[in-house]
Amino acid sequence: MSTIPVRLRVNGVDHELEAEPRLLLVHALRDELGLTGTHVGCDTSNCGACTVHLDGKPVKSCTVLAVQAEDVEITTIEGMAGSNGELHPIQEAFWNDHGLQCGYCTPGMIMAAAGLLAENPNPTEDEVRHGLEGNLCRCTGYHNIVKAVLDAAKIKGPTVGVES
């Protein structure tokens, strides 16, 4: 089992790991860096629970090797709230609109929604639904998730999104 050095910049903080090349980004975040807000729900890039941002764009961290994420800015759910604990508008909207139940898909949903709103600040309901097609939720039936994303867009208008 040979390892290589892997440098990751996560939520603005630099980390250096010694890792096997096969280490998946999601496991690097969870098991090596203790950022357990990013979840694993499937093996096949379907469920989106592991969604994080690479340079501001949502990707599925179960299908990215940790080493592939060198030299980019990684943002996880833990990096979404402000440093003073102020919630991101999308987090706030998920809370207000009951956009979560068991909470397992939620970090991935919020990261996918942030990517969607960064690209399309005023989406229609249909655009939100398609924008979230890479994220599965078994609890909510998506109704309140879609509502939360639309509400977050309404509240913050075109400036919503993640700074990267």
CB-count burial class (<10 Å; 0-12, 13-18, 19+) for 125: exposed
* 10 binds another protein, rule: CB under 8 A: no
* 15 binds another protein, rule: CB under 8 A: no
* 13 binds another protein, rule: CB under 8 A: no
Q: What angle do CA 52, 156, 122 make, to 5 degrees?
A: 80
Shortest distance (Å) from residue 153 CB to another protein? 12
Binding test (CB under 8 A) with another protein, winner from 49, 74, 114, 153: 49
Separate counts of helices (H) and strands (E) for the chain: 5, 5
Tokens 């080493």 correspond to what residue?
A: 67
Give the whole-angstrom CA distance, residue 152 versus residue 94: 8
* 130 binds another protein, rule: CB under 8 A: yes
Cβ atoms < 10 Å from Cβ of 101: 14
Binders in 80-109 for another protein, by CB under 8 A = 80-82, 86-87, 89, 91-98, 100-107
Q: Which is nearer to another protein, 1 or 14 (CB)?
A: 1
* 113 binds another protein, rule: CB under 8 A: no
Site string for another protein, 139-158 (x = CB under 8 A): xxxxxxxxx---x---xx--
**What SS3 state is found at 81?**
coil
* 27 binds another protein, rule: CB under 8 A: yes
* 7 binds another protein, rule: CB under 8 A: no
* 45 binds another protein, rule: CB under 8 A: yes
Per-residue CA distances from 143 to 83, 102, 123, 137, 154 (Å): 30, 15, 15, 10, 17
Q: Which is nearer to another protein, 54 or 162 (CB)?
A: 54
